[in-house]
A and B are shown apart, each in its own frame.
Chain A
Amino acid sequence: MKCKVAVVGDLETVTGFALAGVAYFHVHRNRKETLERIKVFLSNPQIGIILITSRVMEELSEELQPLIRTKGPMPMVLVIPDRKGYYPASVDELERLVRRTAGVEVVLG
């Protein structure tokens, strides 16, 4: 199945990915608008992957977490660091998942 990619984030991130040929993008300005756009992206069957920068994820995590948890298999949502490489532990789903399922802190080499 052919799919497109969507990006939500700051201007630099969006510009960069637009240069790479990403078809759907949204520059985050305020919560309401961004949330609406992400909802549209999530329900668009053409989109396979949504890239969201960590800052947006952090700011909207209350609204986004349930949306992401209840979505179907498509699209995939990936949190990426923003232009300053900001990637806090609060958006790191993996660490939490590993701790919860493995029951212990696993040091991944």
Chain B
Amino acid sequence: MTKAVTTISPTRMELIRLRRRIELAQKGHDLLEEKMDALMMEFLGLARRIKAARTEAFAKLSDAHSKLLKCMAWMGTLETVQASTETLKEVEIDVSGRSIMGVRVPMVEAVEIHRKPTDRGYSLHVSSTLLDEAASAFEEALSKLCELAEMEEAIKRIGLELERTRRRVNALEHVLIPRLKSAVAFISFRLDEMERDNFVRLKRIKALLEAREWKR
């Protein structure tokens, strides 16, 4: 504060400039605060949705695991692993981006992951139906997990942006605006002081001139 005060020149031009800057900073502060509120709402809504999606996806995953376990018990672990290496590795997801309040978040298009047992690629005559069941359960779990991944990534981004915005709001509110205000106060005091100086000076000159007139 003191440093800012010592470097500014107490002129009327400077005063006008500072007042304009305060106005701008105030406007920026209000805008950022609104952005923060909007982000917060988005953040909490997303957090709620993630909670629900997570429960669902994890339940699907544990279901898939129990089916796989059954399959391993029936077919043998090695055979199951073997079948899994024979499976066609063709699953693809479509990732694009969208923007929430100026935050880029990924968006996963739900590509159909589910396949028919004949399309999976392992040989059908050595595998049990339990394997088909396990595979389809994992496919289901995978599609849910992809949605979950999208949401978790989005919330991380939004959280980061939220923190950044909060920091900027605080900087404006607690540093920049008080500093500018104190500078304005300094200049206006200084200008008032100069005006009083001038007033006294004029009075004095007038008195001197009048005294000279009197003498004449």
Contact = CB atoms under 8 A, between A and B. Distances in A.
Interface of A: 1-5, 11-23, 48-49, 51, 73-74, 76-78, 80-81, 83, 85, 87, 93-94, 97-98, 100-102, 106, 108-109
Given A74-B95, A76-B152, A19 B131 contact: yes
Nearest to A2: B92
Interface in B82-112: 83-85, 87-97, 104, 106, 108
A102 B94 CA distance: 32
B10 interface: no
A106 B106 contact: no
Contacts of A100: 159, 163
Contact of A76 (B69, B142, B149, B163): B149
A15 B81 contact: yes
A109 B45 CA distance: 10
B61 to A, nearest CB: 6
Q: Which bracket fits the contact residues of B?
A: 35 or more
Majority-rule SS of B interface residues: helix
Contact of A19 (B48, B58, B84, B90): B84
B138 A2 contact: no
B125 to A, nearest CB: 17
B171 to A, nearest CB: 17
Interface of B: 40, 43-44, 47-48, 50-51, 54, 58, 61-62, 64-65, 68-69, 72, 80-81, 83-85, 87-97, 104, 106, 108, 113, 115, 120, 122, 131, 134-135, 138-139, 141-142, 145-146, 148-150, 152-153, 155-157, 159, 162-163
A21 B155 contact: no
A3 B95 contact: yes
Contacts of B87: 18-21
Nearest to B143: A20
A74 B93 CA distance: 13
B110 to A, nearest CB: 13
Given A48-B108, A74-B106, A94-B155, A22 B142 contact: yes
Contacts of B159: 97, 100-101
A12 B65 contact: yes
A16 to B, nearest CB: 4
Contacts of B92: 2-4
